[in-house]
Amino acid sequence: MPSTLKMPLTVRPDGSLATLVQDSTDDITQAVAIVLATTQGERAALPAFGIPSQIGRVGLDEVGITDALNIWEPRATDFTLDGDSANAATNAATMSVRLGTTTITVTTGA
């Protein structure tokens, strides 16, 4: 089966890089986490990648986040989004996405 690199990059004891089976639950979970952890504009080569900034919002931009996941990770077809508004003390926003039985929690802007 095809494989993809596991993030963050991990070197196995034999010197090879750790991988995930492509299209596996772990691969899709990792891809969703990467989309959620990236604010649009962070990647110079692909500025549209990621989610809209959640900092300073009252509540999460659920539509923007859902749209970003649908665009950048279409394999994540059955997810629910839950989150908190930005924390003024830490300037961070926390959100969770549940994919089946797996929950991905990401804090942005911290």
Residue positions counted in the chain: 110
Condensed to tens digits (0 to 9), the pLDDT of residues 61-94 reads 888 888 999 999 998 877 777 765 555 555 566 7
User: Domains (ranges, CATH) in the chain?
Assistant: 3-108 (3.10.450)
| Verdict on whether the full-model pTM lies above 0.75 | yes
- Number of neighbours of residue 11 by Cβ within 10 angstroms: 9
- The residues, any chain, with a CB within 8 Å of residue 96's CB and separated by 6 or more, are 81, 82, 83, 103, 104, 105, 106
